[in-house]
Amino acid sequence: MTPAQQPATDVICQIAAGELPAETVLRTDDIVAFLDHRPVFKGHVLVCPLPHVDQLTDLPAERIPVLFGAVQRVAAALPEALGCQGTFVAINNVVSQSIPHLHVHVVPRTKGDGLRGFFWPRVKYAEGEAQAYAKLIREALTVLE
């Protein structure tokens, strides 16, 4: 299904179909990348797969290099284009995912820009807790192989 044939059920699909305007910075048959309309910093880009995919865990494995190749290109272009020192790259899956369409945030960063680490408070593991969490995750990864 081409992006034009994809039902325009979310904002990203509507942008892909040309039904909503966006400041597109990169478009191929596989992805669309455009400026976030509510940026963390000016130049904040969303890189999205075409056709529609809800979240990262739904993206077919063979499409991962295409999406992240585009993310890498955008991340390399921002310092050149904007004079920023680097980028912050992030994906939300379900929680805090305001649009039900996979999108990768590529945010320009410069030392002293005011963004402190991640956007949420940090926690510490209690004694032995990190090992227990790691064990649970290793077991789940084994099941998913």
Minimal CA–CA distance to 26: which of 59, 60, 72, 74? 74
Contacts of 117 (CB under 8 A, 6+ apart): none
Q: How many Cβ atoms from other residues are within 10 Å of residue 99's Cβ? A: 14
- Active-site residue, selected from the candidate residues 44, 52, 101, 103: 103
- Token code pair at residue 10: 């979310």
What does the alpha-carbon distance between residue 16 and residue 51 come to, in Å, rounded to a whole number?
9
- Token code pair at residue 76: 């390399």
Q: Is position 103 annotated as part of the catalytic site?
A: yes
Catalytic residues: 103
